[in-house]
Amino acid sequence: MRDLQSPAGFAKQALALSICGMLPCMPLSAATSHDAPTTTPIKHVVVIFQENRSFDQYFATYPNAANLTGENPFHARPDTPNVNGLSTAGLLTANPNSSQPQRLSPAEAIVCSDSHDYADEQNAFDHGLMDMFPERTASSGCAPGQVVDYFDGNTVTALWNYAQHFAMSDSSFNTTFGPSSPGAVNLISGQTHGIAASLGDISGDVVQGTLIGDADPLYDDCGSPDQVGLSGKNIGDLLNAKNITWGWFEGGFSDCSATHTTTNGGVRKDYIPHHQPFQYYASTANPHHLRPTSVAMIGHQGDQANHQYDILDFWNAANIGNLPAVSFIKAPAYQDGNAGYSNPLLEQQFVTDFINRLESLSEWPETAVFLAWDDSGGWYDHVMPPILNQSQTARDALTGAGLCGSNPAKVAGGYQARCGYGTRLPFLIVSPWAKQNYVDHHVTDQTSIVRFIEDNWQTGRIGGYSFDSLAGDIQPMFDFSKRRLAAPLFLNPNTGEVVNFQD
């Protein structure tokens, strides 16, 4: 990936993209979501949804980096607020786990993939003592102590720079415990209960009608033999009811056999079916991965793609002024940050390049980017979350064998196996309207993103005991009274360092 040295360079890169690719250009409909009323100045929400990192793994010592020789330097602004990390909590050298946290350098960005199973994570929390991670989430073949290690601003440089110039949270959590599929489903519906149909062996992935594992989506030709479909509504259904444009854009969706060879030394398919939550719902699925019939139809109802696209489709639409109101972005696997087949440096390339290009669009002044993650990957975080929803199944273990709390009255709707909140995750907002160099301490979760979308376009709630009804509000991370919007921040995709920012 090229080093670009100015915002003009990024703008030229964006303009150099094919406007319509292989799809026919057609005039835009006069009635687009750009005319839809919103309750805030935000007309475009872009959710970049990454993989398998805890808050402490990325921000344990924020805003202080080691800045060792040969590493990308990071120097915090003097007015930077502290976060609830390992250093402020005094847990770098007096940690209750059997291994003490160690800093991982950029040269150590490639790490093993550990367990992030629904029960394993609860066992690691050990009744809230947060002291059993090496014993419970370290996978066979991985160094047990790795799960408590962390990166700093010399590796996750871009994320630390976004935090410096925009807003971040140190109190945002996985909606429930467990791996990628429940995290992705919670992002769009807040409801992992309600298996409508299934194929193959799903015994390890479903408990009492609730998805807790990584079974592939039923409505996806690219899935494995073990698949589940979900009933109920998701945010796509709510947006459709209001005629608001939206889409899920995932690397490799147009060709699910496409692969990349990564610096991790392996070959990985770009598209991972269980990372695509809308494919679990018949109403929002595109089972055959059909292409949009035109660039003008991207994001709109009535097209064969049914709101499910490849990432190139996002840029094709954006470059003709057809940026959807709500866009979910999923990197190709090699850049999604998941340990084992991706890493923070590859993740940084994707995230910074994507945001640089967004900032070059005319719609940027009315755009908010939410940087979020699907689950912790089993990585250690020291904060015990509030348990808003209990569960008592054979797969629960938070407060005892078969228990995530012991009060059946605290099980919403009677739907078991939704123990949550789970592990604390990174969450950042990059937007001209975001507060600058700001750390939010309000409790939020993945469905707080759904809540913002619902409130901004007044769609109403999903219902059916979705976690969106419990979600904390992320609006305190914005300042909608601003007289002067935050300037775009252009970062180097290779290093994460600031290329241009005029405060």
Q: pLDDT tens digit string along 425-444?
A: 999 999 999 999 999 999 99
Is 21 a residue whose pLDDT tops 70? no
Is 14 a residue whose pLDDT tops 60? no
Residue the block writes with tokens 């003490």: 100
CB 474 within 8 A of CB 452: yes
Identify the residue with better confidence: 23 or 11.
23
| Mean pLDDT of the region 128-139 | 95
Instruction: Give the closest residue to 434 by CA, choosing from 399, 374, 476.
Output: 476
Residue the block writes with tokens 């991790």: 264
Instruction: Give the closest residue to 329 by CA, choosing from 356, 311, 305.
Output: 311
Is 275 a residue whose pLDDT tops 90? yes
| Mean pLDDT of the region 196-216 | 97
CB 159 within 8 A of CB 48: no
Identify the residue with better confidence: 138 or 237.
237
Query: In whole angstroms, how far apart are CA 434 and each of 99, 144, 484?
Result: 37, 39, 11
> Which helix (H) or strand (E) covers residue 211, if one does?
strand 210-211
Instruction: Give the closest residue to 442 by CA, choosing from 172, 182, 76, 156.
Output: 172
Cα separation, 348 vs 412, in Å, equals 38
Q: Could you tell me which residues come within 8 angstroms of residue 157 by beta carbon, excluding any fewer than 6 positions away? A: 72, 74, 348, 495, 496, 497
Domains of the chain, each with CATH number or no CATH? 7-24+39-500 (3.40.720.10)
Q: Per-residue confidence at 19, pLDDT binned at 50, 70, 90?
A: very low
For the chain, give the mean pLDDT: 92
CB 450 within 8 A of CB 49: no
Identify the residue with better confidence: 186 or 33.
186
Is 318 a residue whose pLDDT tops 80? yes
Cα separation, 248 vs 316, in Å, equals 14
| Mean pLDDT of the region 173-184 | 98
Is 26 a residue whose pLDDT tops 50? no
Is 22 a residue whose pLDDT tops 90? no
**Within its chain, how far is the Cα of 256 from the centroid?**
21
| Mean pLDDT of the region 85-97 | 97
Predicted local confidence at residue 174, as pLDDT: 98
Instruction: Give the closest residue to 346 by CA, choosing from 126, 129, 17, 110.
Output: 110
Is 496 a residue whose pLDDT tops 80? yes
Q: What are the tokens at 312? A: 């190139």
Cα separation, 394 vs 207, in Å, equals 9
Stretch among 223-232, 256-265, 342-351, 426-435 having the lowest mean pLDDT? 256-265
Query: In whole angstroms, how far apart are CA 37 and each of 33, 42, 242, 496?
Result: 9, 10, 10, 36
CB 271 within 8 A of CB 282: no
Predicted local confidence at residue 460, as pLDDT: 98
307: amino acid identity, one letter: H
Is 482 a residue whose pLDDT tops 60? yes
| Mean pLDDT of the region 362-379 | 97
Stretch among 14-28, 175-189, 214-228, 366-380 having the lowest mean pLDDT? 14-28
Q: Starting at the edge strand that comes first in sequence, how are the strands of the sheet with 195-199 ordered? A: 195-199, 227-230, 216-217
pTM of the predicted protein model: 0.93
Predicted local confidence at residue 34, as pLDDT: 54
% pLDDT > 90, the chain: 87
Predicted local confidence at residue 503, as pLDDT: 58
Q: Per-residue confidence at 502, pLDDT binned at 50, 70, 90?
A: low
Instruction: Give the closest residue to 60 by CA, choosing from 344, 440, 435, 380.
Output: 380
Q: Could you tell me which residues come within 8 angstroms of residue 139 by beta carbon, excluding any fewer than 6 positions away? A: 112, 113, 114, 115, 378
Cα separation, 435 vs 443, in Å, equals 17
Predicted local confidence at residue 113, as pLDDT: 87
| Mean pLDDT of the region 411-426 | 98
Instruction: Give the closest residue to 191 by CA, choosing from 390, 460, 418.
Output: 418
CB 23 within 8 A of CB 312: no
Query: In whole angstroms, how far apart are CA 389 and each of 213, 431, 492, 501?
Result: 18, 32, 42, 43
Cis peptide before 179 (omega within 30 of 0): no
**Range 204-207 contact pairs with CB under 8 angstroms and sequence separation of 24 or more:** 205/181, 207/393, 207/394, 207/395, 207/416, 207/417
Alpha-carbon torsion 285, 290, 292, 293, what sign?
Answer: negative
